Amino acid sequence: MRKLAILFVLLFIMIIGPFFWSIYQKEDEINEEKTPNIEEEKIETEDNDRKIEIGIYKGKVDEQTIEIETDEGTSFFFIDKKIETQLESIRFNDEIVYSYYEKSEERFIEFIEEYWRYRENNRKDDSLEP
């Protein structure tokens, strides 16, 4: 009886497993379609469109968006995988320096770092240029 139950469970997993895997794969494809390709966006923007500011990091809203408190209030910015690695050392309410550009009324982060670390790494240069 126990062997029959195990066999039934394994058979169930073999039949239903691919179904759930295909759903998971379709979700990934949909998410990739929704995620803006920031690398492509960079090619189309000019350097003079880039802005550098200081703000307060408020956290990730979702997989592709972060929230930063700016002088103008709370703003949302799109991020890519490169930025996610930069975010690993940044905590909620950290003062940060970041550069971004705007395209179609959306903001895309190019660089982000804790302000104190940025200042320490760039002592020779008083500008905010990353």
User: Which pLDDT score, from 0 to 100, does residue 83 have?
Assistant: 87
CATH of span 39-121: 2.40.50.140
Within 8 A by CB and 6+ apart from 98, the residues are: 52, 53, 54, 55, 68, 77, 109, 111, 112, 113
Q: What is the pTM of this model?
A: 0.57
What are the C-alpha distances in Å from 12 to residues 3, 16, 22, 26?
A: 14, 6, 16, 22
pLDDT tens string, the chain, 130 residues long: the values are: 788 788 777 766 777 767 666 666 655 555 555 444 444 444 444 555 889 999 999 999 998 999 999 988 999 999 988 888 888 889 999 999 999 999 888 999 999 999 888 888 876 555 555 4
